[in-house]
Amino acid sequence: MRIFEPHAHMYSRITDDYEQMALAGVEAILEPAFWLGQPRTHVGTFLDYFDALLGWERYRAAQYGVHHFCAIALNPKEANDDRVNAGVVEAMPRYLAKDGVLAVGEIGFDDMTPREETWFGRQLELARAHGLPALIHTPHRDKKRGVERTLDLLRDVGFPMERALVDHNNEETVGLCADTGCYMGFSIYPETKMDEGRMVALLQKWGTDRMILNSACDWGRSDPLKVAKTALRMKRGGFSAAEVDKVVWHNPIAFFAQSGRLVEADLDARPVLDGELFSGNSILRGQGQ
Amino acid sequence: MPPDPDRVLADLVAARARPEGLTWLDGALADAAAGRADLAAVFPAVSRQLGRGGLDAPGATVTTAAGEELSLAAWRVDDAARVRLLLAAARHAPDRALALARELYDKGDARERAGALRALSLLPGAARDDAALPAVLDALRVTQGELFEAAVCDSPYASRHLPQLEWRKAVLKAAFIGLSITRIARLHDRCDAELSSSVLDFAREREAAGRPVPPALWPLAARYAPPGLGAKLLGYLEHPAVEHRRAAAEALGMMLPGEPRLRPFLVDHGAREPDEHVVRALREALAS
């Protein structure tokens, strides 16, 4: 079983997690930009964070043979902060051009404020201008209304539904998304959001088309192996191996391949780790990295 | 006259990239040479257009304006394409070339940064202009082998402009992370007593930990042979690995003029040595 983990905040995880994920079958990770638990007060700290997603995290992942991609955005919480919002979005085009940036995200609503709506819309325009899909966060509180407003905004600005991944769905919201053509994300968490058993029930009810699982692991109580655990539960629940593969591998790849920057066959090769590989005398290679 | 570096790189890239990618590159090169391109906008697309694989040219080299030979063994296709773009931009604005490389390093991801670093030795003014030194220093501090390697290995620019303290740290770090220090330009010219001594300390640390010691350390340690090195090298002359015996023979040869007492041990070992390379190294050592 190969897993494409489409939403993991590895920035806040230790290197052992990459190893555990690799052991569980994770071959690729997409890390969306988010907030860091504490508000940032300077645009520069966002840019350093984006650089870490593009550089350091990719390097850490590569050590375990895991391909690391990212999505870049001003997150919904900090969209409310006038110290940083405009400056971050102004700097984004430079990052959206980068190799390995497969989407704009996480954008969306959190408290559903006017500022959130402004920067959500502005970043959908950026996604469209760069030919990128959008990874969309939905609120923890008043989620159903948040999803409704998200879908309304997507329609209002004419953003193609199949290029939107509406994330953190639950039993109350999946029905709103199912007929729109958007991709539907589910964050499987130890306590909140969604768990393995409920997820399997949802897949039995709604099918596997455009359904995407993630662990959304971050610095809170979360588990980077939740996609693997849910896949196991799917098998026990009677899903075929092909159905499981569709949900944990093919669906996320199909979504992010819309960026034009992800080719499934490229995932068969080992990611770039260092410049010594082609010199024919690699000591690192000898260490079995 | 060695061939023009851009010509060499053009042939290697052409042999490995897709035709659509090469057409894209030709357009970007023309724009860069005419001063029409913002390379910061062009650089991110290079890997997507031309690929990320190795140049697979282990024996290929290019020669800098100062006559230094630079190996392309570790280069990737996108490295070579980015260097070509910087060379093209340098035709338009030669005085800005190294500053531009630094700027592209600052704005780049790891692949872009590696490309900018690999260009430095080939850009106009490389022998005198240290405008890109901050990029090299930045890459020395990061824990990404890919960047450190591109900054320091096969880079006459780094070895020319790094201050002595930073240069010594770079040599030690290369050995520490498993890169061959023989890929550092001017290794023996810039080696000083402190580096010889640090290198020997590093070897001792590795031995104590039961970890492998790179044989290339021995000649560097012998440059300003610290006390005790001769006896250690005589021990390595009996090592099961040919590379250790050969490096030890070379290093002992460097020490012989100052320590003639070592000579009979080399003669003795030469009579028993089964490997022809080591025998040759010993012969050269004894002739010194």
The C-alpha atoms of residue B244 and residue B237 are separated, in whole angstroms, by 7
pLDDT of residue A289 exceeding 50: no
Are A32 and A69 spatial neighbours (Cβ–Cβ below 8 Å)? no
Using an 8 Å CB-CB cutoff, list chain B residues near A281. 180
pLDDT at A282 exceeding the cut of 50? no
Residue B135 contacts A where some CB pair is shorter than 8 Å: no
Chain A contact for B74, CB < 8 A? yes
Q: Which residue of B has its CA nearest to A60?
A: B144
B232: distance to nearest CA of chain A, Å?
23
Q: Do A274 and B145 touch (CB under 8 A)?
A: yes
Strand partners, A70: A31, A101
Which pLDDT score, from 0 to 100, does residue A274 have? 59
Residues A178-213 pLDDT 10s: 999 999 999 999 887 789 999 999 999 999 999 999
pLDDT, tens only, A224-281: 999 999 999 999 999 999 999 999 999 999 999 999 999 999 899 888 765 544 434 3
Distance from CA of B111 to the nearest CA of A (A): 9
Q: CB–CB of B145 and A275 under 8 A?
A: yes
A263 contacts A246 by C-beta, under 8 angstroms: no
pLDDT in tens, B116-163: 999 999 999 999 999 999 999 999 998 788 899 999 999 999 999 999
Distance CA B286, CA B262 (A): 10
* Closest C-alpha to B212, from B241, B183, B238: B241
% of chain B at pLDDT higher than 90: 93
Which of B54, B107, B178 lies nearest to residue A278, judging by beta carbons? B54
Q: Cβ–Cβ of A272/B178 closer than 8 Å?
A: no
Q: Which residue has the tokens 């670093």?
A: B117
In whole angstroms, give the CA distance from residue B159 to residue A5: 42
Interchain contact, A55 vs B144, CB within 8 Å: yes
Chain A residues within an 8 Å CB radius of B241 = none
* Nearest chain B CA: its distance from A244 CA (Å): 30
Domain locations along chain B = 5-189, 210-287
Do A276 and B145 lie within an 8 Å CB cutoff? Answer: yes
Asked if residues B245 and B236 have their Cβ atoms less than 8 Å apart, the reply is yes
Interface of B with A in 177-206 (CB under 8 A): 178-180, 183
- Tell me: pLDDT of B79 over 80: yes
- Residue A56, token pair as written in the block: 């350091």
Rounded to two decimals, the ipTM of the complex is 0.82
Q: Which of B146, B152, B181, B206 to mutate to test the interface with A (most CBs of A within 10 A)?
A: B146
Taking an 8 Å cut-off on Cβ atoms, the answer to whether B44 and A261 are in contact is no
| CATH architecture assignment, domain B210-287 | Alpha Horseshoe (1.25)
Work out the minimum CA distance from B74 to partner chain A, whole angstroms: 5
- What's the CATH superfamily of A3-269? Metal-dependent hydrolases (3.20.20.140)
The pair phi, psi for residue B163, each rounded to 5°, is -60, 155
